[in-house]
Amino acid sequence: MKFTKIFRRLIVAASLSVALMFGGEAEAVDYYSAIYQTVNRYNGNEVECDWITRAILYASSEYQVDPILITAIMEAESNFDFHATSPVGAIGLMQLMPSTAAGLGVNPHNPLENIIGGTIYIKNQLGRFQNWGEYSVTDAVAAYNAGPGAVEKYGGVPNYSETVNYVIIVARNYKNLLTLIQS
């Protein structure tokens, strides 16, 4: 019982932060600077930081997904490491599983295709959960981590500590990026 209350409070807090994603945007938004500054905290190579930033903005524009959301997810997934791999086999900047990448028709080892694949995947999740109410973006972010089947099975963010923490981290990353944009 106690865990359930704490879990729900964490999800509500994370959801409120993530809900800001589609709230009002700043007037003269400089996405490039905010994204570049965030990437640069992890990767001091100016050429790579510029490339990652431009690739995020390209994928965002091409697939109509919030560039701040893409960046927040990428930060949580790989800390902008081109060569990131996970113990379960996820690959690259957006940490795509080989089967997910194959289903999306992208090569997860190619950095641009990896970003495009991750962008398409989160766009699919946003579409899948768009009618789930005020926490639909949170549910889509949870589905990026745990899979849409788990989110559907639990009727929202699954009660997996990894996924709960993931949603909170993405929300925090998003909030930090918004702060950079609005300052």
Q: Which of 48, 77, 152, 162 is catalytic?
A: 77
| DSSP classification of residue 26 | P
- Mark whether 25 is an active-site residue: no
- Answer yes or no: are the C-beta atoms of 100 and 121 closer than 8 Å: yes
Phi/psi at 91 (nearest 5 deg)? Answer: -130, 140
| Mutual angle of helices 2-19 and 136-146, in 10-degree steps | 110
Taken as a whole, the chain contains a residue count of: 183
CB burial readout 103-130, b (16+ within 10 A) else e: ebebbbeebebbbbbbbbbbbbbbebbe
- Answer yes or no: are the C-beta atoms of 95 and 111 closer than 8 Å: no
Residues noted as catalytic = 77
